[in-house]
Amino acid sequence: MEPMEIAEQIKGKFPSEVKEIVEFQGQVSVLIKKDKLLEIMNFLHKTPELYFDFLVDLCGVDYLGKKETRFEVVYHLLSIKYNKAIRIKAEVSEDDCVIDSVVGIWLGANWHERECYDMFGIKFNGHPDLRRILMPEDWEGYPLRKDYPLKSDLGDKEWKGFKEVIAIGKKNLAYEVR
Amino acid sequence: MAATKDLKTKTLSINMGPQHPATHGVLRLVLELDGETVVKCKPYVGYLHRGTEKLGENRTYPMALPLSDRLDYVSSMANNIGFCVAVEKLLGIEVPERAKYIRTIMAELTRIANHIVWIATHALDIGAMTVFLYSMRDREWILELFEMACGARLTVTYPRIGGVRADVDQEFLDHCYKFTEAFPKLVEQYETLIDQNRIWLQRTKGIGVLSAEEAINWGLTGPTLRGSGVPYDVRKFAPYDAYDKVQFEVPVGKAGDVYDRYRCRMEEFRQSNSIIRQCLEKLPGGLVLSPDAPGYELAAGPRKKPAPPAPPPKAEGAPAPDAAQAAAPPPPPPEPPAPAFEEVYVATEVPKGELGFYFISDGTGKPYRMRIRSPSYVHASVLPRMCEGSLVADVIANIGSIDIVLGECDR
């Protein structure tokens, strides 16, 4: 079955959920609403003729100011049996920054979803252990968002955090450091 | 003194890493131990996080290429190739045949070099010191070949978007050929040291068993997946470069334990060697860099779109320039089109597994989103499943067998 046919099949089964089907360089992406994500994913995973048993990748994308809905969560699926790949993209708005977790279908989604939460602040409903993974646990902000600065705007000035860190460190020390 | 029956036991949490030599980098495992049995294993990663994806989004495609070296620094050439293949697909650049073959040679040399480092450290972790000395000696040979081709040994940045940086000379080809002649005997040397070694077998057989369904469900790739008997290899499933023009087999294991993963990689040594041999014999002439390849001066602004169809050439007797200008005032510059997002996900088979680059382009010279799907990240996530219920010593064997590099895991 060609990727385009698979996309049409999804649209046939969930006509109200599929928003857009795009093909570029032979790769097909299906843009869906997030509400029935688990149903669609289960359909792709369980249907014997499709059998997408392999979640290759899961990541977030921030379309700040470029698209109506700010975030998209992108799933790259592969069927090892049929050697067919498809890309599913689910829209996640900034106000309702939550999407269902697919860990129940693919265990490999666990760390990918944690990274997506870490980098974009998208929460995953039903994730067993949703914590930051690459950034420190007390980190503020979500680094891969488009409004997160690449560099600090302090210029040559010292990062004030250092002083705070040093002050806290001194307070915790029993003796004065010279 | 209390009677023995009154003694209570409790589990003990210990840190393995992040500065533990057997965790192959800065991987930290918090192990909850009941005696010597691991009750719970919690991996912590991110110590080497450098924000490669964010950096990539703020550089043009050619400038982001050197970032890929720093992912998996043991097999940087393969990462470069993965990056280039993905950008070529996005920009629609055709690579010359000779460059494809050279890249295939380099990718397979990298695979051998990576597996050499893997067998050296994996065996060292388990206690077989000698393999380390032999295999690191032979890795030097490959690094010298890299140096001959591009001047660098570790972070090479030799491939370019649209080909490779420089052509290889006859001296390189001769040396490479000599290497392929000698290497099968060297693999035998490593095997004689450990393949039937009683200690090695006890430490690896039946340890860290993953069934085929489980391995697929966890998203494992590369030899880690193939050890469980799944013949998934990107080189066969979606051939890139010259892999569709060479003959090779994909070795698979059966039991899915540490030993079978070890066997898979040992067989890959031989297959890679054979691929290099075939490429050297078939190496065509011609260009090594496509004329369409973007240079470092690739504009950060709107990328050059395909030129509009040329106006039909004027029929006989072109009118005087003045008359033409007077007749047709220059049309107003067209409105810049709304950014159409183009996206590709391209995977390549790097020594550790499937390295995928997912690019979203908004039509400028910089990627709007650069996502790196790194095999080590996925492989590290399976550690709790492999280690819980096993002994502490097996944790070390498991970490070695999934072949992770934390530079790639943390990106």
Tens of pLDDT, residue by residue over A123-156, are: 998 888 888 888 888 777 788 888 777 766 666 6
**Cβ B344–A107 below 8 Å, yes or no?**
no
Across the 411 residues of chain B, what is the mean pLDDT of every consecutive 10-residue run? 72 83 81 88 89 87 88 89 90 88 92 92 87 89 90 88 87 91 90 86 88 90 90 89 89 88 91 91 86 68 54 54 54 55 89 91 84 91 88 88 88 85
d(C-alpha B56, C-alpha B60), whole Å: 8
What pLDDT sits at residue B336?
A: 47
- Count contacts between A and B (CB, < 8 Å): 95
Bridge partner list, B148: none
Cα A178 to Cα A148, A158, A173, B3, B173: the distances in Å are 38, 21, 12, 53, 62
**Cβ B54–A144 below 8 Å, yes or no?**
yes
On chain B, the residues whose CB falls within 8 A of the CB of A59 are: 358, 371, 373
Nearest CA in chain A to B381: A111
d(C-alpha B45, C-alpha B32), whole Å: 17
d(C-alpha A98, C-alpha A37), whole Å: 12
- Cβ atoms of B72 and B374 within 8 Å: the answer is yes
Residues 76-115 of A with CB under 8 A from B: 76, 80, 83, 85, 87, 106-112, 115
Tally of domains in chain A: 1
Query: Hey, is the C-beta of A178 within 8 angstroms of any chain B C-beta?
Result: no
Residue A60: CATH number of its domain:
3.30.460.80
3-state helix, strand, coil in chain B (%, to 5): 50, 15, 40
pLDDT in tens, A162-178: 555 555 555 555 444 44
Nearest CA in chain A to B213: A53
- Cβ atoms of B241 and B85 within 8 Å: the answer is yes
3-state secondary structure of A32: strand
Nearest CA in chain B to A143: B54
**Cβ B49–A53 below 8 Å, yes or no?**
no
User: How far is A11 from chain B, CA to nearest CA, in Å?
Assistant: 21
Nearest CA in chain B to A26: B344
Amino acid (one-letter) located at B166:
A
What pLDDT sits at residue A170?
A: 55
On chain A, the residues whose CB falls within 8 A of the CB of B214 are: 107
- Cβ atoms of A124 and A100 within 8 Å: the answer is yes
pLDDT in tens, A51-105: 888 999 999 998 887 788 889 999 999 988 888 889 999 999 888 889 999 998 8
d(C-alpha B152, C-alpha B143), whole Å: 8
d(C-alpha B333, C-alpha B331), whole Å: 6
d(C-alpha A54, C-alpha A47), whole Å: 14
Residues 71-100 of B with CB under 8 A from A: 89-90, 92
Residues 353-372 of B with CB under 8 A from A: 354, 356, 358, 360, 362, 369, 371
Find the domain containing A75 and state its range: 3-177
Query: Hey, is the C-beta of B345 within 8 angstroms of any chain A C-beta?
Result: yes
What pLDDT sits at residue B180?
A: 92
Nearest to A80 among B216, B218, B341 (CB): B216
What pLDDT sits at residue B275?
A: 92
Nearest CA in chain A to B236: A83
**Cβ B51–A143 below 8 Å, yes or no?**
yes
Instruction: Determine which of A72, A80, A105 to mutate to test the interface with B (most B C-beta atoms within 10 Å).
Output: A80
On chain B, the residues whose CB falls within 8 A of the CB of A134 are: 45-46, 49, 410-411
**Six-digit token pair at B326?**
């007077």
Average pLDDT for A6-14: 83
d(C-alpha B231, C-alpha B349), whole Å: 13
**Cβ B373–A80 below 8 Å, yes or no?**
no
Nearest CA in chain B to A55: B219
d(C-alpha B384, C-alpha B126), whole Å: 19
